[in-house]
Amino acid sequence: MTDEKTNEKRDFIRQIVAEDIRTSKWDGEVCTRFPPEPNGYLHIGHAKSVCLNFGIAAEFGGKCNLRFDDTNPVKEEPEYVESIKEDVRWLGWDWEDRLYFASDYFQQMYDYAVELIKQGKAYVEELSAEQIREYRGTLTDPGKNSPWRDRPIEENLDLFERMKNGEFPDGSKTLRAKIDMASPNINLRDPVIYRILHAEHHRTGRKWCVYPMYDWAHGLEDSIEGVTHSICTMEFENHRPLYDWYLDQLPVHHPQQIEFARLNLSYTLMSKRKLQRLVQEGYVNGWDDPRMPTLSGLRRRGYSPASIRNFCDVIGVNKFYSTVDMQLLEHCVRQDLNKTSPRVMGVLKPLKVVIENYPQDKVEYLEAVNNPEDPGAGTRQVPFSRVIYIEQNDFMEEPPKKFFRLAPGREVRLRYAYFVTCTDVVKADNGEIIGIRCTYDPATRGGDAPDGRKVKGTLHWVSAEQAVDAEVRLYETLFTKENPEDVAEGDDFTDNINPNSLEVLADCKIEPCVKDLKPLSRVQFERNGYFCVDPDSDENRLVFNRTVSLKDTWAKIQKKQKK
RNA sequence: UGGGGAAUAGUGUAAUGGCAGCACGACUGACUCUGGCUCAGUUAGUCGGGGUUCGAAUCCCUGUUCCCCAGCCA
């Protein structure tokens, strides 16, 4: 499997890892980690990182840790820890016994900070947050030294310990590294190492009153765990000199940080904050709304783990800004579901068909193939009777050119059943078509004419008497614009929300075999698309989400004809 | 305007001094009991300008554009 990825085809990170193995840089070891902060739900962008880190470990015979970077108690909750674990597992990755928490290293991090103070490389700051900002300078102007920068080591030691012991209020002091207030890299202008936070931590409770900042914590977490390749997103590139500086001050293992560009997807947002707004302001029905790019949303929508893993593989890894086309994700899910989904006939917008010459009370069972892509999937029996439903848009009274479906006087095939010919159109007083009448040819049972006669169209159908009623939810993109952030002056992304992103079809007719499907089961409704049983389903009501439609050549032709 | 990254078909990505390739999309056509799948084909690209070289997407110079950084967030 590893052989398939020849060196030339590897992304730049895998090339680095391969080279490090070749040169025995880390004694041939590979250790990566996926380090989420438990402050929100994972989305498809995180999946890229998960697959990168776990994927590299798997391909190179290494290990990948799942580590919660829980250094900010005011934002983090156990609920997120659980959802993240579930999502990573669902994607198909296994951290085995390597489930770690940054909070488990708090004592060690604290001890290292004391060590830094002893070296004269850190000091207790008493400037306020606002003053620190003023002293920091700007992008173009250097900062200036804090008046507390040169206080004696003993005093720093004493103050820091008392910070830890909770003697000072939040925000009154910080511990800062003594680096260079004139550095062109602002991250090096005496960055804060610890802040005082009297907060309840979801794992350590009230034990700590000081909490480490990202830069201090993250490198040490990597170091403690023996991570070799610390893979993160581009916005941390400016932090790498600090990551390195911290680890260089201490006699510890020093991993290599490598940055890649985060995923952007057309017609969606990836920012946790903005996704949260969608939820909180009611634009969607929760984090697992099938329109959300969260993994829980995609799961409920019907995406398979394999399709998402394949997607992450196909998009590649790079260092430059790019936006992947939504259609690529849809391609990946169709590709997987085509091979794996059982076929079912389901009529979304029913049109009643009476077959005049079919016996009144007869019901017969016809054999249907469960999955033409998978002979092992077998066949099933589908009931047929005098009254059936077909799709409203499979019938046109005055069909345009290239319309191969049913029309007055025209013969089509009912899939796996019979050829039928439309003899009459039934209309309501307002002229609306409420049903049609047909005759069938008994000789075509199963769907083939013994005289070799051909039909242009094959329709799916459901026998009225045996049909299962269902609600079907159809989705479009959540935003009308490829880039949801593309807004007029004064507007924001919510102004680009697609008002038609959800369409609920309340009385759909599905063939009876779906009756006992469990939530999250995936099926293909032939000619309609891939669907997934929504957890909203109960014994009285089946609910399906459309994961993605089938490719629809007829829709394209129609579009062109309209022009 | 300081610093750090980066620019290859419409989109995403390969090629690491030696034939610019792949995937998605779009468009033809074949096949078809899913207007699906599959198959065959078409389309279209190295940010601009100089240079080095037998040869440059790749090296050098220069210009342009885009992204990130001034949290006691990660």
| Interatomic separation, CA of residue A320 and C1' of nucleotide B47, rounded (Å) | 14
Nucleic strand B contacts from chain A, 437-476, CB < 7 Å:
446-448, 457-458, 460
Q: Where are the domains of chain A?
A: 4-262, 272-342+470-562, 346-460
**Catalytic residue flag (residue A272):** yes
As given in the structure block, the two tokens for residue A273 are 């904050």
As given in the structure block, the two tokens for residue A483 are 């880039």
What Å distances lie between residue A81 and A69, A225, A255, A349, A371, CA to CA? Answer: 10, 19, 25, 42, 38
The secondary structure of A252-292 as a DSSP string is S--PEEEEEPPP-BTT----HHHHHHHHHTTSSSSTT-TTS
A520 touches strand B (CB under 7 A): no
State the pTM of this model: 0.96
Nucleic strand B contacts from chain A, 249-268, CB < 7 Å:
261
As given in the structure block, the two tokens for residue A478 are 């959540």
Whole-number Å distance between alpha carbons of A281 and A299: 22
pLDDT at position A8: 56
Whole-number Å distance between alpha carbons of A391 and A557: 18
What fold characterizes domain A272-342+470-562? Ribosomal Protein L25; Chain P (2.40.240)
pLDDT at position A399: 95
Q: Is A299 helix (H, G, I), strand (E, B) or coil?
A: helix
Q: What is the dihedral of CA A216, A218, A224, A229, to 10 degrees?
A: -130
Same CATH topology for A4-262 and A346-460: the answer is no
pLDDT at position A1: 33
Residue A71, number of CB atoms within 10 A of its CB: 25
**Catalytic residue flag (residue A37):** yes
As given in the structure block, the two tokens for residue A11 are 């992304």
Q: Is A247 helix (H, G, I), strand (E, B) or coil?
A: helix
3-state helix, strand, coil in chain A (%, to 5): 35, 25, 45
Whole-number Å distance between alpha carbons of A554 and A105: 60
Nucleic strand B contacts from chain A, 93-132, CB < 7 Å:
125, 127-129, 132
Q: Is A13 helix (H, G, I), strand (E, B) or coil?
A: helix
User: Cβ(A549)–Cβ(A388) under 8 Å?
Assistant: no
Q: Which nucleotide is nearest to A191 (CA to C1')?
A: B72
Q: Is A427 helix (H, G, I), strand (E, B) or coil?
A: strand
Alpha helices in A70-126 (DSSP H): 78-91, 106-118
Catalytic residue among A144, A151, A272, A352: A272
Strand B bases, protein C-beta under 7 A: 1-8, 10-16, 23-27, 33-38, 66-74
Catalytic residue among A5, A149, A262, A274: A262
pLDDT at position A489: 81
Whole-number Å distance between alpha carbons of A310 and A323: 17
| Interatomic separation, CA of residue A12 and C1' of nucleotide B51, rounded (Å) | 29
Q: From first to last of its 563 residues, what are the pLDDT tens digits of chain A?
A: 333 444 557 999 999 999 999 999 999 999 999 999 999 999 999 999 999 999 999 999 999 999 999 999 999 999 999 999 999 999 999 999 999 999 999 999 999 999 999 999 999 999 999 999 999 999 999 999 999 999 999 999 999 999 999 999 999 999 999 999 999 999 999 999 999 999 999 999 999 999 999 999 999 999 999 999 999 999 999 999 999 999 999 999 999 999 999 999 999 999 999 999 999 999 999 999 999 999 999 999 999 999 999 999 999 999 999 999 999 999 999 999 999 999 999 999 999 999 999 999 999 999 999 999 999 999 999 999 999 999 999 999 999 999 999 999 999 999 999 999 999 999 999 999 999 999 999 999 999 999 999 999 999 999 999 999 999 999 999 999 999 999 888 889 999 999 999 999 999 999 999 999 999 999 999 999 999 999 999 989 999 999 999 999 999 999 888 76
What fold characterizes domain A346-460? Ribosomal Protein L25; Chain P (2.40.240)
ipTM above 0.95, yes or no: yes
Whole-number Å distance between alpha carbons of A376 and A528: 23
Whole-number Å distance between alpha carbons of A401 and A407: 12
Q: Which nucleotide is nearest to A404 (CA to C1')?
A: B35
| Interatomic separation, CA of residue A429 and C1' of nucleotide B6, rounded (Å) | 66
| Interatomic separation, CA of residue A241 and C1' of nucleotide B65, rounded (Å) | 27
pLDDT at position A4: 41
| Interatomic separation, CA of residue A411 and C1' of nucleotide B30, rounded (Å) | 24
As given in the structure block, the two tokens for residue A305 are 């783990």
| Structural class in CATH, domain A4-262 | alpha beta
| Interatomic separation, CA of residue A538 and C1' of nucleotide B21, rounded (Å) | 51
H or E element that contains A221: helix A214-225
Nearest to A453 by CA among A464, A465, A441, A463: A441
| Interatomic separation, CA of residue A8 and C1' of nucleotide B16, rounded (Å) | 9
Q: Which nucleotide is nearest to A195 (CA to C1')?
A: B72
Catalytic residue among A5, A10, A25, A37: A37
A392 CB-near residues (< 8 Å, 6+ apart):
A349, A350, A351, A433
Residue with minimal CA–C1' distance to B16 is A8
